Amino acid sequence: MRSNGQPVRDGAIPADLTAFIGRRAEVAAVKGLLRTSRLVTLTGVGGVGKTRLALQVGAGATGAFPDGVALVELAGLADPGLVVETLAAALGLQNQRARVTLDVVAEHLRPRKALLVVDNCEHLADACAQVLGALLGAAPDLRVLATSRQVLGITGEQTFPVPPLPVPAPDGAPDAEELLRYHSVTLFEQRAAAVLPGFRVTADNAADVARLVHRLDGLPLALELAAGRIRSLTLKEILARLEDRFALLTGGSRAASPRQQTLSGLMDWSYDLCSPREQALWARLSVFPGDFDLEAAEAVCAGADLPAHAVVDAVHGLVEKSILNRQEHDGRARYHALETVRAYGKQRLAASGELALHRRRHRDHCLDLAARAQSHWFGPGQVAWLARLRREHANLRAALDFCLDTPGEASAGLTLASLPHHYWITHGALSEGRRWLSRLLAADQEPGAARTRALGTYAYLGIMQGAVAETVPVIAEYERAAEEARDASALAWSRHHRAMAAVFSGELTRAAQLLEDAVRRHRAVDDLAGAAECGFKLAVVVGLLGDTDRALELCRESQDVTAAHGESWIRADALFAESLIRWQRGERARADAPAREALRLLRPLTDRWGIALCVEVVAWNAAADGAMERAARLLGILRRLWEAIGGTLFAAPFMTESHRRCETDVRRALPERVYERAVRRGAGLTLDEALAYVLEESPADEEPYERAGLTRREREVAGLVAAGLSNKEIAARLLITRRTVESHVGRTLAKLGLTSRSQLTAWAHRRRSAD
Ligand SMILES: Nc1ncnc2c1ncn2[C@@H]1O[C@H](COP(=O)(O)OP(=O)(O)O)[C@@H](O)[C@H]1O
Ligand SMILES: [Mg+2]
Q: Where in the chain is the domain with CATH 1.10.10.10?
A: 274-353, 712-770
Cβ 682 under 6 angstroms from ligand 1:
no
Q: What fold is seen in the domain 712-770?
A: Arc Repressor Mutant, subunit A (1.10.10)
Q: Using an 8 Å Cβ cutoff, are 35 and 712 in contact?
A: no
* Cα distance between the two ends of the chain: 22
The string of pLDDT tens digits covering residues 218-239 is: 999 999 989 988 988 889 989 8
The string of pLDDT tens digits covering residues 544-558 is: 999 999 999 999 999
In sign, the C-alpha dihedral spanning 269, 270, 275, 279 is negative
For strand 332-336 and strand 325-329, is the pairing parallel, antiparallel, or unpaired? Answer: antiparallel
pLDDT at 289: 94
Q: Where in the chain is the domain with CATH 3.40.50.300?
A: 24-161
Q: What fold is seen in the domain 24-161?
A: Rossmann fold (3.40.50)
Q: Which atom of ligand 1 is nearest to the CA of 46?
A: 23
Ligand 1 geometric centre to CA of 203 (Å): 27
Ligand 2 geometric centre to CA of 46 (Å): 7
Ligand 2 geometric centre to CA of 164 (Å): 13
Cβ 46 under 6 angstroms from ligand 1:
yes
Which of the four pLDDT bands, split at 50, 70 and 90, describes residue 489? very high
pLDDT at 249: 54
Ligand 1 geometric centre to CA of 654 (Å): 53
The string of pLDDT tens digits covering residues 452-485 is: 999 999 999 999 888 999 999 999 999 999 999 9
232-256 burial by CB neighbour count: b if 16+ within 10 A, else e?
Answer: eeebeebbebbeebbeebeeeeeee
Ion ligand 2 neighbours (CB, 5 A) are 51
The mean-pLDDT minimum among 151-155, 253-257, 521-525, 563-567 falls in 253-257
Burial of 469 (0-12, 13-18, 19+ CB in 10 A): exposed
The string of pLDDT tens digits covering residues 607-647 is: 888 999 999 999 999 999 999 999 999 999 999 999 888 77
Which of the four pLDDT bands, split at 50, 70 and 90, describes residue 722? confident
Cβ 194 under 6 angstroms from ligand 1:
no
Cβ 11 under 6 angstroms from ligand 1:
no
Report the percent of the chain where pLDDT is more than 70: 94
The string of pLDDT tens digits covering residues 508-534 is: 999 999 999 999 999 999 999 999 999
Single-letter amino acid, residue 616: E
Q: Which residue has the higher pLDDT, 5 or 321?
A: 321
Cβ 220 under 6 angstroms from ligand 1:
yes
Which of these CATH numbers, 3.40.1010.10, 3.40.50.2300, 1.10.10.10, 3.40.50.1860, describes 274-353? 1.10.10.10
- Of the ligands numbered here, which is closest to the C-alpha atom of 121? 2
160-190 burial by CB neighbour count: b if 16+ within 10 A, else e?
Answer: bebebbebbeeeeebebeebbebbbbbbbbb
Taking the mean position of all CA atoms in its chain, how far away is CA 489?
33
Closest CA to 658 of 613, 707, 620, 709: 620
pLDDT of residue 705 exceeding 50: no
* Test site for ligand 1: of 18, 52, 119, 162, most ligand atoms within 8 A of the Cβ: 52
How confident is the model over 551-576, as a mean pLDDT? 96
pLDDT at 298: 97
Which of the four pLDDT bands, split at 50, 70 and 90, describes residue 15? confident
Residue 420, preceding bond cis, omega within 30 degrees? yes
Cα-trace Rg, the chain = 30
716/754 Cα distance (integer angstroms)? 17
Q: Where in the chain is the domain with CATH 1.25.40.10?
A: 361-595
Closest CA to 429 of 9, 73, 130, 97: 97
Q: Whose CA is nearest to atom 27 of ligand 1?
A: 52
Partners of 644 in beta bridges: none
Which of the four pLDDT bands, split at 50, 70 and 90, describes residue 738? confident
Which of the four pLDDT bands, split at 50, 70 and 90, describes residue 1? very low
pLDDT of residue 8 exceeding 60: no
Q: Using an 8 Å Cβ cutoff, are 119 and 99 in contact?
A: no
Residues in contact with 298: Cβ distance below 8 Å, sequence separation at least 6, in sequence order: 308, 311, 312
Cβ 48 under 6 angstroms from ligand 1:
yes
pLDDT of residue 254 exceeding 60: no
236/708 Cα distance (integer angstroms)? 75
- Of the ligands numbered here, which is closest to the C-alpha atom of 71? 2
For strand 157-161 and strand 69-73, is the pairing parallel, antiparallel, or unpaired? Answer: unpaired
Closest CA to 462 of 495, 483, 435: 435
How confident is the model over 566-591, as a mean pLDDT? 94
216/241 Cα distance (integer angstroms)? 13
pLDDT at 600: 95
Cβ 228 under 6 angstroms from ligand 1:
no
Closest CA to 147 of 17, 257, 47: 47
370/358 Cα distance (integer angstroms)? 18
How confident is the model over 682-689, as a mean pLDDT? 90
Dihedral pair phi/psi, residue 70, rounded to 5°: -120, 140
Q: Which atom of ligand 1 is nearest to the CA of 19?
A: 4
Cβ 51 under 6 angstroms from ligand 1:
yes
Dihedral pair phi/psi, residue 391, rounded to 5°: -60, -25
pLDDT of residue 10 exceeding 60: no
* Test site for ligand 1: of 26, 48, 167, 221, most ligand atoms within 8 A of the Cβ: 221
Provide CATH code, domain 361-595.
Answer: 1.25.40.10
